[in-house]
Structure formats: C-alpha cells, structure tokens
Amino acid sequence: MSDLCRWLHDLLEQLPRFKYPFDPKRLPKNAIYFFYEKGESWGHGGDRPRIVRIGTHREGNFRSRIAEHFLLNEARMNFDVAKPPPHDRSIFRKHIGRALLIKDRDPYLSVFNIDFTTKRVLNTHGHQRDIDKERQIEADITRILRENFSFRFIALEGQAERMGSEGLEARLIGTLSRCNECAPSSGWLGRYSPLEKLRQSGLWLVQHLGANALTERDKARVLVAAQATKDWLKDQEERNAP
C-alpha cells in the first residue's frame, strides 16, 4: 500500500497548491480535495508535504465547503446563543478545536462537543454556552487553518463518482491510512485529539479509514480526473488573463 500512497502524492504534486487567501470563485463546483499541513512530511524520502485530510461534498458545493473550513465568510463569527458556531458546520474545524482544547486542558470541551445545529439542542443546552469563549476558539481554529494548511484538488463531476460505495473519496482515504511509511510528526496537533482513530492514522479523519485502497480501475479514474483538472485550470488561467 505504501507504493500506492507514494503514487498518489507524486500525482498530486503536478497540480497547484492553494493557500489562504484565495478566491473560491476560481475553484470548480465539484471536486475531491487534499489538505496539507506545515510540519507534516510524507514517509517516502525527503521532506515533501504529507496529505493530512481528504474530503469531498454534495453536488455543487465544493466552493462553499472550502469556504466553511477557512471561514471565508467572517460574518459567521457573529453567532449568538441562538445560532450554531462555525465548527458545527465543518467537522474539520471541530477536529482541530477538540485537539486545541485538550492540549490546553480546557474543560469547555464538553460544551464544544455538543452539536448546536438543531433548535431542540439549542433550547436544551444553549444555557451552557459561553459565546465569548466560543468566538475565541473559532478565531484560533481559523488562524491555524489559514496559516498552516493548504490544499490541492481534482475536479470531478458526479456525486456518485466522489461519494458512496463506488466513490473515490473512501478508497483514497483507505490508501493513505494503509500506508506503513507515512506517519504524523511528534509535534502534530492531531496527537491531542480525543479520537483514537484520528491519532493513530495521522489524518484529520475518522470516516473511511478502513476502506479498501485504490484499485487499478480507480487509479485510471484518478488519472483522468487529474488531467481534466489541469485542463480546467489552464482554461481558467486563460479566461482570467488580462
């Protein structure tokens, strides 16, 4: 499986890497994305960046999904006791926030773990919230994401192509999780996660870690998507040229 992991990293190195700030309108509407993190290197020789998260989205939502992770709409920080915090819209942000709170031995973790996206939970547990505290946590999460994380993507149409039993997302994650050469650094923030699967995998993920690795057919699909992405990016560059 290590050869497959190396193959995937090598292939993605041919695509541009996006860092904050970026224009989400310059992204495709559908894709699978691959996050990298400062200080995290692959295990196949040298210090090239290691993929630390793979994700996708429902049809047409790639731009909004990435925007939620990086909190590009900063008006979302204006939440109150009657509204859910940003991390309830992004499990990636929630994973990072949990690790931060455990690292700081902060007892607010018990409230942070509550999902406030439903009115019932807001009514039942809203009195436990410290909004000023939550805004500080969200600001810390945003700073870490914007300063330490970057991403690549392969444009891919069709939700079934990306998600579900035949989707590539699960097998891409399975490929990384089965690699016996890539490992998190000693200082990786994810080591503070309360989720054992996340800590052991070295990935900001808990779903699909036990999925099968890429097949030869899957590799062919990834290659086609990577080439389509190069073509799409070239077309975007030409369209936006002065």
pLDDT tens digits for range 52-94? 999 998 898 999 999 999 999 999 999 999 999 999 999 999 9
pTM metric for this prediction: 0.95
Mean pLDDT of the chain: 95
Nearest 10 degrees: Cα torsion 92, 75, 20, 202: -10
Quote the pLDDT of residue 2. Answer: 87
Q: Looking at residues 205-221, what average pLDDT do you find?
A: 95
pLDDT of 154-164, one tens digit each? 999 999 899 98
Q: Is the pLDDT of residue 1 over 70?
A: no
Within 10 angstroms of residue 192's Cβ, the number of other Cβ atoms is 17
pLDDT of 10-21, one tens digit each? 999 999 999 999
Q: Is the pLDDT of residue 6 over 90?
A: yes
pLDDT of 93-136, one tens digit each? 999 999 999 999 999 999 999 999 999 999 999 999 999 999 99
Quote the pLDDT of residue 102. Answer: 98
Sorted by sequence, the CB contacts under 8 Å of residue 115 that are 6+ apart come out as: 84, 88, 121
SS3 content of the chain, % helix, strand, coil (to 5): 50, 10, 40
Domain assignments of the chain as residue spans, ordered by start = 2-71+153-239, 81-146
